Every structure is written in C-alpha cells, then in structure tokens.
Amino acid sequence: MAELTWLETVFVILLLICVLVGTLPVINTGLQFLSLPLHAFRNHYAKAAPYHPRVAVVIPAWNEGLVIGPAIERLLQLEYPADRLRVFVVDDASTDDTPDIVNTKAAAYPGRVVHLRREVGGEGKAHTLNHGLDIVLADDWTEAVLIMDADVIFARDSLRKLTRHLADEKVGAVTAYIAEGSRDRNYLTRFIAIEYVIGQLSARRTQNVGGAIACLAGGAQLHSRANLEAIGGRIPTGTLAEDTMTTFESQIKGRRMVFEPHAVVYAEEPRTVDSLWKQRLRWARGNVQLTSIYRKLWFRPSREHNLGSIPFGLAWFTILLLPAFMILAAAAMLTLLILHSEIADFVFRFMWISAACIYLFSMLYSVQLDPRIGRQSWREALMFPGLGALILMAIALFPWLFERVLSELGMALTDQTRFTWAVIFYLWGPISMLGIWLARAVERFPGGRFFAGLLLYICGYGSLLCAITVDSYIKEWRHADAAWIKTEKVGRVDS
C-alpha cells in the first residue's frame, strides 16, 4: 500500500472514528456484562428488611375481560397480609365484560377489590392511572401503591420481595423482573424472552450498580406514598413514555429507584412482528420525546441523582441512536473500502471479531441468569444477532473458510466479486433493517408469518428493534398521531 499523505491520513482517522462511534453499542454491551458481577457487592439488599406497608394496587383496564379475572385472583393469593392489600381496577369505559367481572370479584372480596369506573375514557393509560391515584392517595390508609397491567401474573412471593426495599426511606420505587410467560410460545415470544433477560436481568442490575434506573416497568412498579406525592401525586401525561418519565422525575426529586430481579412477574407478549412493532414504536417515540425533554440533564453529573452520569448517558444514547450508529459505521467502512481496501479489511475483521467475543460472552452469561428462559429459548439466544451477523463473525474469525466455501460452489473469487461481497458485508447493518421492514410487510399475506419469522432469524432481533427506532424517528419528525394503541391480550399467561 502506498504511503498516505497527511490529508489522507487525517481523513482515514476521521473514518476510523466514525467506525468506532458505530461500534459504541457493542462496546456498551461489553461494559454492561463486565460490570454485572459488581451487583453481588453493590446493591440495596443490605438496607432491605421485612416490611409490609398497606399497598393499594392500581390496575388500568380497558376491555380486559379475558385477563382481568385471573390477574385479580392471583393478586389475592400473594404471600402478603390480606388486610394490607387492596385492589383498585380503574375501568376506562370498557365496552366488554370487564365491569361485570370486576364487580363479581368486588362482591366476592368486599373491601379488598374495588371497581372504579370512568364513563368517558380513551385518554390514555396515564390519565386512567391518575383517576385511580386521586382516589387511593386521598385515603390515609394507603402507604404504598403498586401500579400494574391487567394481564400480568405476579409470582406468589414477588410483592414481599418488592416491599422489603421500601423499608429504606430513601427508596422511592421498586420495579420487578417482567418475564415472558405465555404458555403457547412462538418464535417471537422466545426472542422477546431473551431480550427481557438482557434488558432487565442484565441491564437493570447494571443500573442498580450505577445508581440510576432508566425505567420502572409499566407492568410492575411499586411506589412509596412519599415518592408519588413528591412528583405531584400523578403520572406525567405529556409523553408516550409515562413510565420512564415517572422514573426520571422520581430520581430528580432525590429518591432512589431499585430493580428487584427476584420479584418475577409473568406477562403475555405480542406474537406477530406487526403487533410488536406497534407496541415498541410507542416506547421508542416516548424515549425520543424524553431525550429532548431532559436535554439539559445528559452528561451533567449531579449530587442529587446519577441520571447525568457518563455511563448512564452512554447506555441511553447507544440504544436511542443505534440505527444512526449502524448506518454511520457502514458508510465509513464503505468509504474505506473504496479508498483503502487493506485498512477496510483490517477494520472489518477487528470489528466483527470483537462483536463475536462480546456476543458469546453476553449470551452465555444471559442464558444462566434465567435458566427457564435459557432452556426454552436457547435457539433464539443463539440466533439473536441473526444468521447474517453470525456468518460475518465466522468470516472475520476464519477468512479462509469463506473462500473455500465459494470454491466448493464453483464460484471464482475475482477482484470484482471480492469487492461486491465486501460491499454486502460492510452494508449488512442497513440491509438487515430493510429485511425487517420486508418481514413486517409480508407477514399479513397467506403464509407470510413463516417468511417473516425466517427473515427475523436471518436479519436478527436487534435489527428489528433498530428498524422500529428508525420508524420512531420518522413518526416524531412528521408529528404523526401519537394515540395510544392497546396491545391485544387474550390470557395466554401460564398462571
């Protein structure tokens, strides 16, 4: 290779910086799993103690007739003093048999189950919750509030594992581990199960270590009365991510958030790409909104909270900007290929070998965090980055293997074909996102679910989340309708 001029050297350095920025999500994942063992030493258990405050459970419900009955029954069977637990179902003008089911439960458990009816609904989950909070906080009986979804099922010991953290007055809220719990799983719910292990049992443990929690799970968040009163006694309504905004506001007020990995709550998750897309689009748009709302918070350390810390900001933005990072790295790699193919080849191998090492380490770590999920979803854990990414990892580790395979297939590897294959390899990130958009498009046609699943295994679950994030950018830029779309639940959780 000819010696580079100083101008070419500067340009190459800029391209390498772009590639490095593009690999920040991989670096962040590695740092997350490397810091995870610290949770054994840096956690809240030393300040936790047996504690049973009077808990008011608030359940927002709109047309939840298929799931609300078992959810109430399971709450009443929790290992928790019966006289210290009341269930308030906030019926958001349901048009199915939800009111009848809740009234039947209220009659069977007088004083323990309460039906709160909103005659005019449709304003969204936050408004429904606030209707219930106005009532439960007006009663001095309430010492803590558990906010949950109508379809989730709590493990019998989960509530007492949550409340023990409220023995520390500095703790404002505790969130549980939401696990995928469908009895009839399909490929997508198994992918989601692995995602929850990575995003909760791993990431939120790491957030415990760092002292800043990104989000209290909407399906299971336990607040002290003092914490809710500190943020005005209401859930914020100005964003699609009311759960995350509540979490941020609580920490800004100086209270600690805690993730309790041993309090397990089982949930029914979407079974099609389209339904998952609609659910996660709302979450992603909410995060985009919050990034703007809290723009003065990022990377500004504070004595009151750790939301402005560099590790927390890095984790937040590597998720929020993952598609942009992916496209930036691909463009930089393609430019390097055109200008300096030898450098591009070295960077490609280094990048994918690093990704392979971090992938193997993180997945082997993840599957043992929840052995049940590890047994049920081991194929999805293996294929989480997608077959395409696995092939690129193998090529980076064993470049001679690719040439041998092509030779066995009778394909000559000329300079032109080398360049063509390199372009495909370097642009795999954007290509995989386009494959996911195709998966969503074909899913609605006869036999489309098979091809959608096949594309997901090839392109990877991470590419699915990236494609949804790109859609959130577009929807926010266009100021598209932000109405809340309820995820259909039919009671598949194995209670």
Strand partners, 86: 56
Taking the C-alpha atoms of residue 284 and residue 473, their distance in angstroms, rounded to an integer, is 9
pLDDT in tens, the chain (495 residues): 556 687 878 888 899 999 999 889 999 999 999 999 999 999 999 999 999 999 999 999 998 888 899 899 999 999 999 999 999 999 988 888 999 999 999 999 999 999 998 887 777 888 899 999 999 999 999 999 999 998 899 999 999 999 999 999 999 999 999 999 888 889 999 999 999 999 999 999 999 999 999 999 888 999 999 999 999 999 988 888 899 999 999 999 999 999 999 999 999 899 999 999 999 999 999 999 999 999 999 999 998 899 999 999 999 999 999 999 999 999 999 999 988 888 889 999 999 999 999 999 999 999 999 999 999 999 999 999 999 999 999 999 988 887 777 777 777 667 788 888 889 999 999 999 999 999 999 999 998 999 999 999 999 999 999 999 999 999 999 887 765 565 666 666 765
CA 224: distance to chain centroid? 24
Comparing CA positions, the residue from 76, 84, 51 lying closest to residue 156 is 76
Taking the C-alpha atoms of residue 457 and residue 191, their distance in angstroms, rounded to an integer, is 10
Comparing CA positions, the residue from 245, 315, 319 lying closest to residue 284 is 319
What domains does the chain contain, in order, with CATH numbers? 6-20+320-477 (no CATH), 45-151 (3.90.550.10)
Taking the C-alpha atoms of residue 117 and residue 202, their distance in angstroms, rounded to an integer, is 39
Taking the C-alpha atoms of residue 190 and residue 424, their distance in angstroms, rounded to an integer, is 29
pTM for this prediction: 0.92
CB atoms closer than 10 angstroms to residue 218: 22
Taking the C-alpha atoms of residue 460 and residue 318, their distance in angstroms, rounded to an integer, is 18
